Structure 1
């Protein structure tokens, strides 16, 4: 477990055994699931020595549960936030053991892992999977501030409270979902064009179904995240002391609302993509039915043209000794003329009845 002291002018590693609790700023205790799962009791004792807060057994179990959904709970000493973030890659451990499926790369990135936040008065405890890019990037940036704090002016500043640090991390995790919108939209657009292509039949139905399942999972995931953030916002409203600094409460609410707004944007986008897939499939089958109808109309017209011709040939194929035109030298040409006239008359009739209407040309006119 790594422990850092975060203050307004310095971010540095901290040893609570030697230095105790700092007089200013707050502590950030960062651990991985493997470190906590290796020895629950030892890790909980180490957190208690550093912060003076004892973590309850159910929350300790929740922090190491890789299948735990987004969740919020609070006690008199601390608040627990479990937030599911995007996994490092598709081969990580999502909600269930990963199995290769026929899904495009943009959708395999929807594998998620939980990150647990234990929010205390003067400390923040994070429990996450190993090699978390968001946690590592935030840690590197905070430590970099220590090395350049005497340099030129820059916009970045360390978080002023554990709540602010947690909300920064949550915002960065939600932004990863926002970054998926463009590749997901591009993949859905490719499927739409493939579904409506008349030259190449669409056969990738398994991938399309899996994509819809992944989008539905993203929908449910965002709903759980939004509910957890809603409860966190209520908790901050009830616990932050306005008499200490009214602006602090407003800042925290703004940050929470910003995270919730980003989650809502991801949720709405997932719902739109899911609706787009369903609409594309419906349009595909409608187009297939239209093409089938056009083929059947063509076959019907051809059949209607040859039926009277078949009747004429059948009549002249009767085995009677005396029949008109059989002994006539011009009988063959007269019969062919009659048959041609019948075909032309039927074509004119079909055209007037709009059975042979050319829809694309009519639309161009």
Structure 2
């Protein structure tokens, strides 16, 4: 468990659990699921000792539940937000990833949609976070805070420390949502490759299982974003309801940050729905193209059948077992019959051409229109 004392001009890593919240600034208490699950009661007592706030039993159980969806709840002393972030396989073994990929044949771009929950406990002067081990977002935020150095007034100041637990939580949430935005390009590239493969007339599409798994993963991303959006919307309402009657600048900045995170979640949600619609459209176009090719094949076979049908009638007539038949004993009878067949075929071809039965419709559609 890591404890940071965040002030206006300095961020300090505290080695021991403090007896109280500092007057200048607030505390950030960071722990992993394993640390809390090993001894939940001891961990809760330490939090109560440092913040004078006791966490409820049900909230403590939700905090260590790694399958819990995105969720928001509040009490008189604190608010709890559970947000599912991308894990990038950091909390899963290589064997589990390999077995899951073999069972479902998930493409590399979609295999990154594995998530882990992060719990935020927002208190008046403290923020408690519980997450999986080796979280990139948490590590990056801690590094930036510890590297902060105050500069004199009048100089440009970047990466200032957060002024409240709520601002720090929103910074972390914004970084977690941005990880989903980074997936848009590889996901779009994967869908584009499938679309080209589905519409390739020279090669039959074989990755139907992977395509179905991709649609399932996109539907999961859709539901995940909806849960995240609902949790953040309730957090926004909590900020509005807990604010004073007169608005202040810090409260307005918090609402702006919440709206920014909500807008990012909405963008991810809309993108997931567009990708899912693209897959469905590509599949429909694929089957339409197959039906068109089948129709062209059947049209060609019908024309061939129509050409050979009168020839079959002629050969059938001359194959009858009559003694006396016209042209049967004539020396030029064979050539007369062959000439009749050629004339009939040419006549049918002319008739089909005038009726446009033999026109290549695909080439007509590709001709430029004036």
For normalisation by structure 1, the TM-score amounts to: 0.95
Counterpart position of 1:43: 43
Match of 1:335 in 2: 337
Deviates more, 1:308-317 or 1:98-107: 98-107
Cα deviation for residue 92 of structure 1 reads 2.4
Relative to structure 1, is the Cα distance of residues 90 and 315 closer, same or farther in structure 2, using a 3 angstrom cutoff? Answer: farther
State yes or no: 1:195 paired with 2:198: yes
User: Which among 286, 289, 303 is matched to residue 287 of structure 1?
Assistant: 289
Contact 1:88–1:133 at 8 Å: present in 2 too? no
Measured against aligned partners, the alpha-carbon deviations of 1:156-178 in whole angstroms (never above 9, x if no partner) come to 11111101000000000000000
Structure 1: gaps spanning 5 or more residues: none
**Aligned CA-pair RMSD:** 1.9
Shift of 1:19: 6.4
Instruction: Name the CA shift for 1:18/1:201 in 2 (closer, same or farther; >3 Å).
Output: closer
Deviation at 1:150, TM superposition (A): 7.1
Map residues 83-102 of structure 1 onto 2, 5 A cutoff: 83-89=83-89, 92=92, 99-100=100-101, 101-102=104-105
Alignment match, 1:251: 253
Q: CA deviation at 1:46?
A: 0.6
CA displacement at 1:119 relative to structure 2: 0.1
Matches within 5 A, 1:167-178: 167-178=170-181
Assess, with a 3 A threshold, how the Cα gap between structure 1 residues 116 and 357 changes in structure 2: closer, same or farther: same
Structure 1 residue 15: Cα displacement: 4.8
Instruction: After TM superposition, give the deviation of residue 240 of structure 1 in Å.
Output: 2.6
Q: Distance in 1 between matches of 2:319 and 2:345?
A: 20
Superposition pairs of residues 86-235 of structure 1, within 5 angstroms = 86-89=86-89, 92=92, 99-100=100-101, 101-146=104-149, 153-235=156-238
Q: Give the whole-Å Cα distance in 2 for the aligned partners of 1:18 and 1:346.
A: 99
Partner of 1:69: 69
Structure 1, 150-159 or 292-301: larger mean CA deviation: 150-159
1:119–1:163: 8 Å Cα contact kept in structure 2? yes
How far off is 1:242 after superposition? 5.5
Distance (Å, rounded) in 1 between the aligned partners of 2:27 and 2:162 = 11
Which residue in the other structure is 2:360 paired with? 358
Q: What CA distance in whole angstroms lies between the structure 2 residues aligned with 1:88 and 1:283?
A: 33
1:90, distance to aligned residue in structure 2 (A)? 7.5
1:78 corresponding residue in structure 2: 78
Per-residue CA deviation, residues 174-225 of structure 1 (Å, 9 max, x unaligned), is: 0000000110000000000000101110011100000000000000000000
Q: Give 1:345's match in structure 2, choosing from 338, 344, 347.
A: 347
SS of alignment partner, residue 109 of structure 1? helix
Indicate conservation of the 8 Å contact 1:33/1:129, yes or no: yes
Question: Structure 2 CA distance, aligned partners of 1:34 and 1:149?
Answer: 38
Is the Cα contact below 8 Å between 1:69 and 1:82 reproduced in 2?
yes
CA distance in 1 between partners of 2:65 and 2:2 (Å): 21
CA-CA distance at 1:153 after TM superposition: 3.7
Write the distance in 2 (CA, Å) between the matches of 1:24 and 1:91. 36
Paired position in structure 2 for 1:13: 13
